[in-house]
Amino acid sequence: MDIDLLTNIFYAMVRTGTPLLLVALGELVCEKSGVLNLGQEGMMLFGAVIGFIVAFSTGSLWLGVLLAIAAGMLLSLLFAIVALGFNANQVATGLALTIFGVGLSTFAGAAWVGKPLTGFEPIALPYLSDIPLIGRMLFAQDLLVYLSFALFALVAWVMLKTRIGLIIQAVGENPDAASAMGLPVLRVRTLAVMFGGAMAGLAGSYLSLAYTPMWAENMTAGRGWIALALVVFASWRVFRVLLGAYLFGLASIVHLVAQGIGISVSSNLLAMLPYVATIVVLVLLSRDAIKTRLFAPVSLGKPWQSGH
Partner 1 sequence: MHKKSKGPLLRTLVAALGFSAAMSASAADPLKVGFVYIGPIGDHGWTYQHEQGRKALAEKLGDKVETSFVENVPEGADAERVIRNMAKGGYDLIFSTSFGYMNPTVKVAKQFPKVTFEHATGYKQAKNLGTYLSRSYEGRYVGGYLAAKMTKSKVVGYVASFPIPEVIRDINSIQLALDKYNPGTEIKVVWVNSWFDPGKESDAANALIDQGADVIFQHTDSPAPIQTAERRGVYAVGYASDMAHFGPKAVLTSIVNNWGPHYIKASEAVMAGTWKSQDYWGGLDDDTIQLPISDIVPADVKAEAEKIIASIKSGEFHPFTGPIKDQSGAVKLADGVVATNAELASMNYYVENVKAELPK
Binding test (CB under 8 A) with partner 1, winner from 5, 91, 154, 160: 5
Sole binder of partner 1 in the list 3, 163, 266, 289 (CB under 8 A): 266
Q: Measure the CA–CA gap between 145 and 41, rounded to whole angstroms.
A: 20
Q: Using the rule CB under 8 A, is 252 a contact of partner 1?
A: yes
Q: Does 123 bind partner 1 (CB under 8 A)?
A: no
By CB under 8 A, tell whether 85 contacts partner 1: no
Output 131 or 256, the one with its CB closest to partner 1: 256
Q: 214-227 b/e with 16+ CB inside 10 Å = b?
A: bbbeebbeebbebb
Which positions from 93 through 122 interact with partner 1, judged by CB under 8 A? 103, 106, 109-110, 113-114, 116, 121
Please identify, among the stretches 27-35, 184-192, 263-271, 289-297, the one whose residues bind partner 1 according to the rule CB under 8 A.
263-271
Q: What is the DSSP letter of 130?
A: G
The residues near 204 (Cβ < 8 Å, ≥ 6 apart) are 43, 44, 45, 46, 47, 48, 49, 50, 51, 68, 71, 72, 220
19: contact with partner 1 by CB under 8 A = yes
- The distance of Cα 29 from the centroid of its chain, to the nearest Å, equals 11
Smallest separation (angstroms) from partner 1 to the CB of 178: 39
Q: How many residues does the chain have?
A: 308
Selected binder of partner 1 within 54, 253, 281, 300 (CB under 8 A): 253
Q: Does 256 bind partner 1 (CB under 8 A)?
A: yes
Q: How far apart are CA 58 and CA 142, in angstroms?
A: 20
Of residues 9 and 188, the one with the C-beta less far from partner 1: 9
Give the binding-site size for partner 1 (rule: CB under 8 A). Answer: 40
Binds partner 1 by CB under 8 A, chosen from 139, 195, 211, 304: 211
Closer residue to partner 1 in complex, CB, 11/236: 11
The CA-atom distances, in angstroms, between 120 and each of 92, 208, 211, 261, 274 are 36, 10, 8, 29, 26
Beta carbon of residue 48, minimum distance to partner 1 (angstroms, whole number): 10
Exposure class string for 147-178: b at 16+ Cβ within 10 A, else e: bbeebbeebbebbeeeeebebbbbbbbbbeeb
Please report whether residue 282 would count as binding partner 1 according to CB under 8 A: no
Q: Tell me whether residue 58 or residue 212 sits nearer to partner 1 (CB atom).
A: 212
Separation between Cα atoms, residue 85 and residue 77, nearest integer Å? 10
Q: Where are the beta strands (DSSP E) in the chain?
A: none
Binding site for partner 1 (CB under 8 A): 4-5, 8, 12, 15-16, 19, 103, 106, 109-110, 113-114, 116, 121, 207, 211-219, 221, 223, 252-253, 256-257, 259-262, 264, 266-268, 271
